[in-house]
Amino acid sequence: MKKRIGFIGCGQMGQAMIQGMIDAGVVEPGHIAATALSDETIDFVADEYGIHISNDNKKLAAESDLLFLAVKPYVYRDVIEEIREEVSDDTVVITVAAGITLESMEEAFDKNVKVIRSMPNTPSLVGAGMSALCPNAFVTQEDLAEVLELYESFGEAEVIEEKLMDAVPAVSGSSPAFVYMLIEAMADAAVQQGFPRDKAYKMVAQTVEGAAKMVKETGRHPAELKDAVCTPGGTTISGVTKLEEAGFRKAIIQGMTATTEKSKALSQGRK
């Protein structure tokens, strides 16, 4: 891809996306530029990824064909105020934050602007990301295809209706944290039984990866796959029963619901 790609903000998420694009060979480092506030981040990103990075948001916005806003939600309006006049009619602006609606972006720019609302996740760093995208009315099919190509270079991506975007953090954006908690808890139990910590993490992580792959590649219902492991009177059903008694499913649903409610609050301008 020959498009000029810019990242305003280059924290963990921005770096994960940049690394994924470069590793997949979709974009050359020379076609990516970024900005950051601290000299420490600027020096690190320049050395690590070989891209141009500075603290000049206006220049970056003026020179980018695809402009990612990878900053915290509460600084979006300030950043847009700074770059608004530099963004051309042909530039596609991609949000990378929870709670930033298409309407709020159009209001902040106060002009017709191409905007794609997105929510990637940190597994993008290892080419296993899951991203959701939602374009506004000014984005062409060609624009969307180009952005999808970038997101699919570091994982999978789905185009969804904006009404579903507030649920995306719970489904894929924030949920890696829930999975990490599961892996940590399972590994702790293994260590309790005498496993070395490194072997416990390896075995549990591979098991989680394998189970997810079974769901994706077989197309079978998760309950069916679970039942296939539960032999009558066996070890698995004993563990499943105890998890049910402890409210395992309820806790997961409550955690995802709380995440979604927080995302909705951000979209509505509440904290």
**Helix, strand, coil abundance in the chain, percent, nearest 5:** 60, 15, 25
pLDDT in tens, the chain (271 residues): 779 999 999 988 899 899 889 988 999 999 999 999 999 999 999 999 999 999 999 999 999 999 999 999 889 999 999 999 999 999 999 999 888 999 999 999 999 999 999 999 989 888 899 999 999 999 999 999 999 999 999 999 999 999 999 999 999 999 999 999 999 999 999 999 999 999 999 999 999 999 999 999 999 999 999 999 999 999 999 999 999 999 999 999 999 999 999 988 888 876 6
What is d(CA 11, CA 209) in angstroms, rounded to the nearest whole number?
A: 26
DSSP 106-161: HHHHTS--EEEEEE--GGGGGT-EEEEEEE-TT--HHHHHHHHHHHGGGEEEEE--
The pTM score is 0.87
Q: What is the pLDDT of residue 98?
A: 84
Match domain 173-267 to its CATH number in 1.10.3730.10, 2.60.40.10, 2.60.40.420, 2.60.40.1220. 1.10.3730.10
| CATH number at 5-162 | 3.40.50.720
Residue 243 one-letter amino acid: L
Q: Give the containing element (helix H, strand E) for 94.
A: strand 92-96
- Would 5-162 and 173-267 be classified into the same CATH topology? no
Q: Give the containing element (helix H, strand E) for 35.
A: strand 32-35
Between vectors from CA 22 to CA 208 and to CA 85, what angle results, nearest 5°? 115
Cα 248 from chain centre: 25
Segments making up each domain of the chain, as ranges:
5-162, 173-267
263 token code pair: 């995302």
Strand partners, 33: 6, 52
Check residue 52 and report its DSSP letter.
E
Who contacts 153 (Cβ-Cβ below 8 Å, separation ≥6)? 20, 21, 24, 26, 27
